[in-house]
Amino acid sequence: MCKDGVYRVKCVYCSEFYTGEPLQKRMYHHWYDYTRGSREDLSALSEHCKNEHPGLPMKLELVDFHRTDGFVDRKVRESVVQQDKPSSINRRIEGAGTAGNLYLV
């Protein structure tokens, strides 16, 4: 179940949200960045925890998980979740390989 899906976590300290995918691989990256943290390109989630809550351990609550089936399904689901439920911790850098807004008509 954890291998292919879109997740939404809440920072326990400030109740801000982060949406990402895929769960297992990406959460490992967030944790690795948080514990090793010497890189300039920290994940948005680990950067939030280090800057907003210095000295406190990273504490997250999984609030939402959507099982997906492959890359396209994950990207579409992530866009829909972000559109419906804003995630203030996420950062969007245009041209950095991130999916933009998804508009369904």
CA distance 41 to 69: 28
For 15-61, the pLDDT digits (tens) are 999 998 887 788 888 888 888 866 667 788 998 998 999 999 999 99
Q: Residue 59 falls within a domain, yes or no?
A: yes
pLDDT at residue 59, as a whole number: 93
Q: Residue 95 falls within a domain, yes or no?
A: no
Q: Under a CB-based contact definition with an 8 Å cutoff, are residues 81 and 8 in contact?
A: yes
Per-residue pLDDT at 65 exceeds 70: yes
Write the DSSP string, 39-103: SSS--HHHHHHHHHSTTSPP-EEEEEEEE--SHHHHHHHHHHHHHHS--TT----TTSS------
Give SS3 for 68.
coil
pLDDT at residue 48, as a whole number: 92
Q: Residue 101 falls within a domain, yes or no?
A: no
pLDDT at residue 81, as a whole number: 86
pLDDT at residue 53, as a whole number: 94
Q: What is the pTM of this model?
A: 0.77
Q: Interhelix angle for 44-52 vs 23-36, to 10°? A: 40
Number of domains in the chain: 1
Say which CATH number the domain at 55 has: 3.40.1440.10
Domain that holds residue 35: 5-84
pLDDT at residue 14, as a whole number: 95
